[in-house]
Amino acid sequence: MSNFDSYRESAHESFKPLPPEVIVARARAATRRRVVVVAAAAAVVIAVAGVGVGLRLRSDGLGPAPNPPVMPSPSVTLAPVTPSPSASPNPGSPSATGTPSGSSSGSGQPGGSGPPDVPRSSSTSPAPAPLSMRKVDVENTTIRFPARHDDDDCPSGELEVVDGAAGSDTFVHPSYGGGSPAYGDVDGDGRVEAVVWGSCTSGPGDDASGQLLVLNGRTGKVAGMGWVGPVGQVINDVTISGGRVVVTVTQKYYDVKQERTYRWNGSRFVQSAGPTAFPSPS
Amino acid sequence: MRPEPGPAVRLRAVAGGRGEFDAFYLAWYGRITAQVYAYLGDRGDAEDVTQEAFVRAWQRWGDVSAYEDPVSWVRRVAWNLATSRLRRMTTAAKVMRRQPPPGVVPGMNPDHVLLVAALRKLPERQRRVIVMHHIADVPVADIAHELGVPTGTVAAWLHRGRARLAEDLGPRWEVPS
């Protein structure tokens, strides 16, 4: 039996869960806290507005936390852990509580006092740093395109996009009608995704053969998580609300508007609310 | 691949609801915490981020329970938290520590402590893929997808990481090749 086998098979016995009630209560408290934080932040905006100080709030209303810095530089994760309150009341046996290696290669981290977004470099082995999707120019970057589940004609895989075009037949734009992508956390992992508009001329349909595309920057590269909704819709508006992609579509050549909601099911986007088709015009 | 606590738990979890969440949480808390601990090397931090990940899972349990693999979602969230400095700013986590200890916890096997100590000496990405592959049983292809690198790169990191571990831990230690 290898050391890994032993660890895998029995290490978990040293970690006992708190009662589930505690987790559930904590979830409720966190939800309440969010509401309070947003209210407090709004109050601050009102307070400082008179002196002309700007304050950027998260548009998704999830509180003031910035998009978490994604991939750690080694010094972050290896940092000798600041003697935190976890040492004493933590439900662990004393022998296992201590940091097992005093000789780890981490350079000391100044207790989180540094600017939160400055990446630390490491000469040994920098992990791919995640991208903040809000800062990505989707018309000029390399994107890994997912396969379209209802259309095999569009290219997939990694393509370089220049001025909104990847080659002569694939296009990416921040949104259907111009303007910025919609931003928000659609899979609940704490990071912000961007909803953009992608199309390819080899697909079915005419000028409107595009489809909404959700991009993330989790791995340090821009990657498409998946396409959303049917191909070739007229999109009025896209928002991300409660972890869902909410799309307002208009029936082509008619004035019928519908709101359709899609959620990430772990592997692709599926419709979770709203009509799935337009009424047939009478 | 060795079975983790299993399909039965996963199936029940998929049904959604509080009872299912409890079963899911109780079945997986220790394993995910042990995986994060192998990566972070700090017990308190590992417990904090895993608890927080389960809190988030419950907040959106309707969705998460329907995922093909809710466990990997929780693990990924825990990992995200572990690798971000947010965990240091989470005052909420400290509230959790005031909960009474949940009974007697067996001390860590000394061999496991040595393994975690050796893991901490690896560069971050080698440690990460070693823990994911050899402790969390995630296939190489899935790791490559998650990290956005070619599978060959993951294989190379695994290889180098294992070589360093073998060197560090000595001949008494068996490291899979």
A69 CA: distance to closest CA in chain B (Å): 6
Q: Is residue A170 part of a domain?
A: yes
Residues B31 and B60 in one domain: yes
Residues B35 and B67 in one domain: yes
Tell me if B81 and A266 make a contact (CB, 8 A cut-off): no
Q: Is residue A113 part of a domain?
A: no
Residues B99 and B112 in one domain: no
Percent of chain B with pLDDT over 90: 31
Contacts (Cβ under 8 Å, ≥6 apart) of A90: A97, B43, B44, B47, B97, B101
pLDDT band at B41 (very low <50, low <70, confident <90, very high): confident
Residues of A numbered 116-135 whose beta carbons fall under 8 angstroms of chain B's beta carbons: which are they? 116, 122, 124-125, 127-128
Q: What is the pLDDT of residues A262-271, one digit of tens each?
A: 999 888 899 9
B17 CA: distance to closest CA in chain A (Å): 12
Q: What is the pLDDT of residues A158-200, one digit of tens each?
A: 899 998 888 777 888 898 877 789 999 998 888 999 999 888 7
| Domain edge (last residue) among A65, A83, A103 | A65
A95 CA: distance to closest CA in chain B (Å): 6
| Rounded Cα gap, residues A132 and A140, in angstroms | 15
Residues in chain B: 177
| Rounded Cα gap, residues B33 and A100, in angstroms | 16
Tell me if B111 and A3 make a contact (CB, 8 A cut-off): yes
Contacts (Cβ under 8 Å, ≥6 apart) of B11: none
- Residue spans of beta strands (DSSP E) within A104-221: 141-145, 157-161, 165-166, 170-173, 182-184, 193-200, 211-216
And the tokens for A225? 């998580």
Q: Which residue does chain A place closest to B29, by CA atoms?
A: A17
- pLDDT at residue A41, as a whole number: 67
Q: What is the pLDDT of residues A73-113, one digit of tens each?
A: 333 333 333 334 433 333 333 333 333 333 333 333 333 33
Q: What is the pLDDT of residues B53-93, one digit of tens each?
A: 998 898 888 888 888 889 988 998 888 777 764 444 444 44
Q: Is the Cβ–Cβ distance between A218 and A130 less than 8 Å?
A: yes
Tell me if A243 and B30 make a contact (CB, 8 A cut-off): no
Looking at mean pLDDT, say which of A50-64, B51-65, B149-163 comes out highest.
B149-163
Q: Is the Cβ–Cβ distance between B51 and A19 less than 8 Å?
A: no
Residues B44 and B100 in one domain: yes
Tell me if B33 and A15 make a contact (CB, 8 A cut-off): yes
Better-predicted residue by pLDDT, A269 or A51: A269
Residues B63 and B131 in one domain: no
Q: Does A256 touch chain B (CB under 8 A)?
A: no
Residues A171 and A54 in one domain: no
Residues B58 and B7 in one domain: yes
pLDDT band at A201 (very low <50, low <70, confident <90, very high): low
pLDDT band at B126 (very low <50, low <70, confident <90, very high): very high
Give the structural domain span for B70.
1-105
Q: Is residue A255 part of a domain?
A: yes
Least confident of A3-12, A214-223, B40-49: B40-49
Q: Is residue A84 part of a domain?
A: no
CB atoms inside a 10 Å sphere around CB A109? 20
Q: How many domains does chain B divide into? A: 2
Residues A148 and A45 in one domain: no
| Domain edge (last residue) among A45, A65, A85 | A65
Q: Does A5 touch chain B (CB under 8 A)?
A: yes
Query: Least CB-CB distance to B86: which of A9, A65, A221?
Result: A65
Tell me if A11 and B26 make a contact (CB, 8 A cut-off): no
- pLDDT at residue B159, as a whole number: 95
Residues B79 and B2 in one domain: yes
Q: What is the pLDDT of residues A124-162, one digit of tens each?
A: 455 677 889 999 999 999 999 887 755 556 677 889 999
Q: Is residue A182 part of a domain?
A: yes
- pLDDT at residue A93, as a whole number: 36
Q: Is residue A124 part of a domain?
A: no
pLDDT band at B148 (very low <50, low <70, confident <90, very high): confident
Q: Is residue A231 part of a domain?
A: yes
Give the structural domain span for A34.
13-65
Residues B174 and B126 in one domain: yes
Residues B98 and B116 in one domain: no
Q: How many domains does chain A divide into? A: 2
